[in-house]
């Protein structure tokens, strides 16, 4: 092992998975008797992905990890760390990570550090930071780390339900990465607050104070941004302003909050120094220059004006990362990284040499603002290869649009399944894409067994590692 | 920030907390109608610590963190990372870490990375590894990390109940430490197994297959030991054998398993090379030389003989770490680190220059074998200061022995409290030592509020940071 730290540590490969089933927000708002545009314009969402009783956070994690290993031809022995960020609790003690160890059994690799990181939608970011740190530490043994961010976000019937979603992102972490994390600028804000939490242990649904949570999110963004700017200036010897960031990806509970968030950063730049924003922007924000930070967070006029003046930048810097979060809904821990995957998918080669700013927020609360520099990478670990392998368009195009009634029926079924034992899933296998892991049984002792739908795309790889047709316990 | 890694990273300070209430195993076995010696000799346990409805994993974590900061005069601003390892789930989304942020509010330090790490009894070890990695990474900003390992271990009425316990350990992590982790020898084994898990979300009690769990523990120990030995030999150019370790601390579900575990390591040395053990030991183990690893795990004769031949070494290398685990019971994530605290307490100055081997096991499963070298440290961060500040004897001597009937009544109360809302604890405050945080209320929205019992030992520090008499939400 080298005594120095490895260079350019970051994300070297990615894979995205989401269930094929989705409901259209336009149809859902009509079904729910909500006013037209409430979900599509008010929330800014297009579709909502969801799991039937064949899938859960474990099966999605199995699918996305196995798919990444296969697509990039990574032998399982080459993984030295694997950790999961999730808030979808199927078991309060046994980590999702331990279930993923089934994928490494055949090759005999049990020497894989890392467990699950937990705090609402922030767990994936904690896992990512931990993995980056491991590679830069003296504990590193030269192998890759693998980070999984996965969640199934479901809400009780009512106003919050359309903000659900489901998905999983796997990220391979190593040196010489195409997405190099700028470690020393990373800024964090943590606090104690009850904005969204899951204290009703028998229910999958959270307790949510939506208004408080939005304020907490924007306040955390303010604080992280100030700290990021301070760290940047200290290291770079020049002030940070939004012009230094080419793209900004936000944790996306719903798209409308992402729109507000970018506007909030513009307002932050203006307050820090009016010369940090364009003259016409500065002029329009002037009436709000003397608001206290607390007042500025609840001022509706400011919110509107800031979004107006930020619109052009929002379109160029933020919209390229919004497709998956708008099409799938909130994937909790996976949301931010599905946004990053979307950005790669949308901009690909144009990203070379650019800085991507990322804002992670988990209620409770934990938040970080950090950035990547996009590099060339080492084949097969380049942005264009990642984009090709993620095949986001193909995955979106093969979705099954479910009508709202069937969606509600599935939600009822899932309520009965949550925390249940001794059952066999009843949903149709036709909703599973080839290569997808699915639940086959939960026995009388709550032990879960999974299988994998035969892949038609890469049979040679599947059969060689024995995962096809083998039952996973 | 220096471009190189800081030196001698490890545990610079520790604090231990456990509830004052305990039940004697001798009295419990009589009360339960168990055969005499079943809990005391069969399990090897002396007492069992438990929480009343005034305490929980959050209050214990608040207590141990605040106590560490006060005793070592660490200003809260000096903490840059704080993470918790626990499997006691009060909320499925909101991390215990976020509740601890209340202790950092007054000084305005929200810039503290880290959340909760989850996998059965292994979470504390994951948190420790993560913190060590952070300090060795380019993300490190020169501040301390703080690791909390805390759990309340309770079981349904029956055979497993006497293996409960409760406690919390806080560890300050930094460079120039008295306990320097030997990072590059650290060995891990992870696998998918249902030996102990918590799938019944509405209940605090686990589902346990005790026999399977013991086999998994010993098998994981075998695998970690082989990997540790291989890494040691690769780096040091000589084989590792138990004579290289001065002390061995084990995760202790109950003491009897610790006895078996050390014997298992001796058997491992014998199988690797008979010359690694003393001649008389080798002669006595010879009849078991050709057993397969699987058979050796279930061979009762081997178990007995190995414990006999290992007895002398067990007494000198393992017994010095067994006091707290025997007196408090299984503290899940805190168990291994309470063992380490006990070793410091028992051996103190004699530890200088010694190697301490540590085995961490969490069902499901996750396990690691790693080691510390004991150094002089930098005042106030020396072993003797840590021992003085932990004041383990004083804490043990001020316990309240509760009779088994009252213990069972408390367990019934705690069953009703688990996952409940809208209540005020009813237990007597007389069971709380000065300086202890306790639950004052769970409101109709499940929000938990804590207060702190006035400290009579360090009033000047308490009043200066305003935590005394202040209500914690």
Pairing of strands A116-118, B79-85: unpaired
The single residue listed with the structure tokens 């209430």 is B21
Cα A104 from Cα A66, distance rounded (Å): 10
Provide the 3-class DSSP secondary structure of residue A352: coil
DSSP string computed for B176-190 = S-SEEE-GGG-EEEE
Which fold does the domain B10-180+387-464 belong to in CATH?
Peroxisomal Thiolase; Chain A, domain 1 (3.40.47)
Give the DSSP letter of residue B347: H
The secondary structure element, H or E, covering residue B84 is strand B79-85
Q: Is A120 on the interface with B (CB under 8 A)?
A: yes
Task: Please report how many Cα atoms fall inside a 13 Å half-sphere around the Cα of residue B26, on the Cβ side.
Answer: 3
Tokens 């016409």 -> residue: A280
CB A390 within 8 A of CB A214: no
A239 vs A405: CA distance, rounded Å? 53
Residue A434 has pLDDT above 60, yes or no: yes
Task: Decide if A116 touches B, using CB distance below 8 A.
Answer: yes
> Looking at the predicted structure, is the pLDDT value of residue A207 above 70?
yes
pLDDT of residue A456: 60
Tokens at residue A336, please?
């931010």
Please tell me the predicted confidence (pLDDT) of residue A3. 56
Angle between helices B123-136 and B335-347 (to 10 degrees): 70
- Kind of pairing between the strands at B179-181 and B144-153: unpaired
Q: Which has the closest alpha carbon to A154: A17, A85, A32, A51?
A: A51
Measured over all CA atoms, what is the biggest interatomic distance in chain B, rounded to whole angstroms?
Answer: 67
Q: Which of A99, A130, A473 sits opposite B133 (nearest CB)?
A: A130
Locus of tokens 């010993």: B218
What is the reported pLDDT for B377? 81
Return the SS3 of A298: helix
Chain B residues with CB inside 8 Å of A188's CB?
110-113
Beta bridge partners of B356: B247, B372
Spatial separation of the C-alpha atoms in residues B64 and B19, rounded to whole Å: 11
Percentage of chain B exceeding pLDDT 70:
95
CA dihedral B9, B109, B150, B221 (to 10 degrees): -30
Superfamily classification of domain A185-377: Thiolase/Chalcone synthase (3.40.47.10)
- The set of residues, in sequence order, having a beta carbon less than 8 Å from that of A164 and lying 6+ positions away, is A48, A50, A153, A154, A155, A329, A330
Structure-token pair, residue B247:
């002390």
pLDDT for res B468: 36
The alpha carbon torsion through B194, B199, B200, B205 (nearest 10 deg) reads 60
> Would you call A118 and B116 a contact, using CB atoms and an 8 Å cutoff?
yes
Helix or strand run (H / E) with residue A414: helix A404-417
Tell me the two tokens of residue B191: 């696998």
Q: Does A130 touch chain B (CB under 8 A)?
A: yes
pLDDT of the residue at B3: 57
Residue A178: both structure tokens together = 């195409």
Question: What's the pLDDT at B454?
Answer: 87
B453 touches A at CB < 8 Å: no
The residue assigned the tokens 């380490």 is B340
Confidence class for position A98, pLDDT limits 50, 70, 90: very high
ipTM: 0.95
Average pLDDT over residues A118-143: 97
d(CA A212, CA A68): 38
Report the alpha-carbon distance of residue A247 to residue A322 in Å, rounded.
11
User: What is the residue-averaged pLDDT of chain A?
Assistant: 94
- Decide: helix, strand or coil at residue B328: helix
Q: For a pLDDT cut of 90, what percent of chain A falls above it? A: 94
Query: Do B198 and A93 count as a contact with CB atoms less than 8 A apart?
Result: yes
B307-323 per-position pLDDT tens digit: 999 999 999 999 999 99
Q: What is the mean pLDDT of residues A152-162?
A: 94
Say if strands B47-49 and B21-24 run parallel, antiparallel, or are unpaired.
Answer: antiparallel
User: Which residue, B410, B409, B461, B467, is CA-closest to B436?
Assistant: B467
CA A4 to chain centre: 32
Summarize chain A as % helix, strand, coil (round to 5): 45, 20, 35
**Phi then psi for B77, rounded to 5 degrees?**
-65, -20
Whether residue A435 contacts residue A455, with contact meaning beta carbons closer than 8 Å, is answered with yes
Burial class (CB in 10 A: 0-12, 13-18, 19+), A250: buried
Can you tell me the distance from the alpha carbon of A146 to that of A76, in angstroms, rounded to the nearest whole number?
11
pTM for the model: 0.95
Q: Could you tell me if A82 and A145 are in contact, meaning their C-beta atoms sit under 8 angstroms apart?
A: yes
**Residue A422 forms contact with B (CB below 8 Å):** no
All residues of chain A having their beta carbon less than 8 Å from the beta carbon of residue B189 are 110-111
pLDDT at A376: 85
- How much is the average pLDDT of A132-145? 97
- Which chain B residues touch A105 with a CB distance below 8 Å? 191-192
* Dist CA B353 CA B388 (whole Å): 20
Residues 6+ positions from A39 with CB-CB distance below 8 Å: A25, A26, A28, A29, A45, A162
> Which residues of B fall within a CB distance of 8 Å from A114?
126
What is the three-class DSSP state of B461?
helix
> pLDDT class for A378, splitting at 50, 70, 90?
confident
Contact A13, A172 (CB under 8 A): yes
Going by pLDDT thresholds of 50, 70 and 90, the confidence category of residue A473 is very low
pLDDT tens string A281-296: 999 999 999 999 999 9
Determine the CATH number of domain A10-179+387-464.
3.40.47.10
A224 is catalytic: no
* Set B15, B70, B83, B87: catalytic member: B87
Whether the pLDDT of residue A372 is over 60: the answer is yes
Whether residue A109 lies within 8 A of chain B, CB to CB, comes out as no
- Cα gap A267→A353, rounded to integer Å: 26
**Listed residue (B424, B421, B426, B470) closest to B447, CA to CA:** B421
Sequence-distant (6+) residues with CB within 8 A of B50 are B19, B21, B22, B23, B152, B154, B164, B165, B166, B402, B407, B410, B411
pLDDT averaged over 10-residue windows placed end to end, chain B, 473 residues: 78 98 97 96 97 98 98 98 97 98 97 98 98 97 98 94 97 97 96 98 96 97 98 97 98 98 98 97 97 95 98 98 98 98 98 98 98 90 97 97 97 96 96 96 98 67 34 48
**Residue that has been written with the tokens 């031949």 in this structure:** B309
CA distance A345 to A341: 6
A87 is catalytic: yes
Say how far apart CA B272 and CA B296 lie, in whole Å: 14
Domain boundaries, chain A: 10-179+387-464, 185-377
How far off is chain B from A96, nearest CA to CA, in Å?
Answer: 9
Structure tokens at A364: 């409770």
Q: A117 touching B, CB under 8 A?
A: yes
Q: Is A161 helix (H, G, I), strand (E, B) or coil?
A: helix
Per-residue pLDDT averaged across A254-273, rounded?
Answer: 98
Q: Residue A137 and residue B183: Cβ atoms within 8 Å?
A: yes
Answer yes or no: same fold for B10-180+387-464 and B185-377.
yes
Q: Which DSSP letter does residue A381 get?
A: B
- B430: exposed, middle or buried (C-beta count within 10 Å: 0-12, 13-18, 19+)? exposed
Please tell me the distance from the alpha carbon of residue B389 to that of residue B391, in angstroms, as a whole number.
5
Residues of A in contact with B177 (CB under 8 A): none
Measured in angstroms, the CA of B314 and the nearest CA of chain A are apart by 27
């Amino acid at each position: 092992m080298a005594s120095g730290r490895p260079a350019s540590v970051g994300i070297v490969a990615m894979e995205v998975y989401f269930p094929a089933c989705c409901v259209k927000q336009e149809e859902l708002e009509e079904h729910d008797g909500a006013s037209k545009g409430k979900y599509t314009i008010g929330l800014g969402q297009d579709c909502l992905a969801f799991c039937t009783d064949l899938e859960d956070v474990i099966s999605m994690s199995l699918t996305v990890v196995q798919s990444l290993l296969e697509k990039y031809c990574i032998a399982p022995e080459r993984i030295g760390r694997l950790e999961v960020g999730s808030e979808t609790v199927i078991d309060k003690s046994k980590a999702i990570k331990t279930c993923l160890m089934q994928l490494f059994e055949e090759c005999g690799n049990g020497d894989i550090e890392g467990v699950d990181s937990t705090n609402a939608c922030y767990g994936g970011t904690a896992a990512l930071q931990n993995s980056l740190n491991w590679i830069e530490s003296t504990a590193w043994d030269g192998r890759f780390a693998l980070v999984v961010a996965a969640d199934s976000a479901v809400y009780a019937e009512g106003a919050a339900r359309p903000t659900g979603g489901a998905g999983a992102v796997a990220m391979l972490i190593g040196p010489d990465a195409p997405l190099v994390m700028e470690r020393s600028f990373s800024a964090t804000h943590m606090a104690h607050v009850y904005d969204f939490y899951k204290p009703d242990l028998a229910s999958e649904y959270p307790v949510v104070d939506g208004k408080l949570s939005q304020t907490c999110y924007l306040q955390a963004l303010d604080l992280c941004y100030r700290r990021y700017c301070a760290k940047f200036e200290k290291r770079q010897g020049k002030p940070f302003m939004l012009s230094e960031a080419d793209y900004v990806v936000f944790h996306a509970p719903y798209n409308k909050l992402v729109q507000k968030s970018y506007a909030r950063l513009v307002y932050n730049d203006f307050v820090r120094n009016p010369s940090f924003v364009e003259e016409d922007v500065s002029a329009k924000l002037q009436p709000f220059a003397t608001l206290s930070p607390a007042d500025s967070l609840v001022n509706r006029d400011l919110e509107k004006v800031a979004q107006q003046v930020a619109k052009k930048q929002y379109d160029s810097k933020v919209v390229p990362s919004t497709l998956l979060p708008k099409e799938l809904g909130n994937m909790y821990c996976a949301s931010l990284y599905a946004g990053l995957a979307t950005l790669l998918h949308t901009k690909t080669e144009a990203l070379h040499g650019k800085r991507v700013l990322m804002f992670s927020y988990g209620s409770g609360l934990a938040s970080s603002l950090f950035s990547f520099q996009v590099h060339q990478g080492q084949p097969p670990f380049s942005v264009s290869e990642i984009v090709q392998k993620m095949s986001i368009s193909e995955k979106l195009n093969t979705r099954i649009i479910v009508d709202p009634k069937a969606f509600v029926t599935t939600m009822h079924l899932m309520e009965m399944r949550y925390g249940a034992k001794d059952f066999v899933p009843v949903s149709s296998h036709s909703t599973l894409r080839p290569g997808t892991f699915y639940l086959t049984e939960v026995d009388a002792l709550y032990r879960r067994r999974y299988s994998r739908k035969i892949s038609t795309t890469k049979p040679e790889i599947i059969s060689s590692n024995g995962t096809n047709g083998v039952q996973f316990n």
